Amino acid sequence: MKFKTPIPKTPDLWIKEIAEAYNDAYDTLPFGILVGQEILPEDLFHLGPAVCLKFRGIKQSKSNLNKATEAALSSYVATKEIVGELFDIPQMSFAFSYLASHFGLELIDDLLSTKILDYIENNIDQIIELTNKD
């Protein structure tokens, strides 16, 4: 399958892409006020599925968005208690959601997603540095 943006081949490339995806989601924060809802960085994990579709150039159909969202949110809920405070880092919770969306769309497998998440957890400072908006 050909994508708008190819699937990253290395964990370092995943970090760069996830930082770019997070920044894309972050840019939506000011628009929350238009719909009467304050959006905070810790809410951005909800956008992981939509940004996944956007970055891969996959049609934003209801079916595709539902598959990505179901995988992301169910995995998030199942994992949150296990990882504890790690998901308090907005970039980490977004990275998890973004990768789980790829998994739900069958773009990556379980082994690759686990490998990438382990790498991100050990190198979260790189994503934080690439997403520093201050």
Contacts of 121 (CB under 8 A, 6+ apart): 86, 92
Q: Give the count of alpha carbons within 13 A of 90, CB side only.
A: 20
Burial class (CB in 10 A: 0-12, 13-18, 19+), 18: buried
Residue 3 lies in a domain: no
Question: Strand, coil or helix: what is 14?
Answer: helix
- Cα distance between residue 53 and residue 60, in whole Å: 6
Classify each residue of 90-102 as buried b or exposed e, where b means 16 or more C-beta atoms within 10 Å of its C-beta.
Answer: bbbbbbbbbbbbb
Residue 38 lies in a domain: yes
Residues in the chain: 134
Tell me the pLDDT tens digit for each residue of 35-52.
888 889 999 999 999 999
Residue 5 lies in a domain: no
pLDDT, position 133? 65
* 2, two tokens: 């050909």
Residue 4 lies in a domain: no
Contacts of 34 (CB under 8 A, 6+ apart): none
Residue 119 lies in a domain: yes
Residue 1 lies in a domain: no
pLDDT, position 65? 95
pLDDT, position 23? 97
Residue 67 lies in a domain: yes
Tell me the pLDDT tens digit for each residue of 87-111.
999 999 999 999 999 999 999 999 9
Residue 49 lies in a domain: yes
Domain span at 42: 11-130
How many independent structural domains does the chain possess?
1
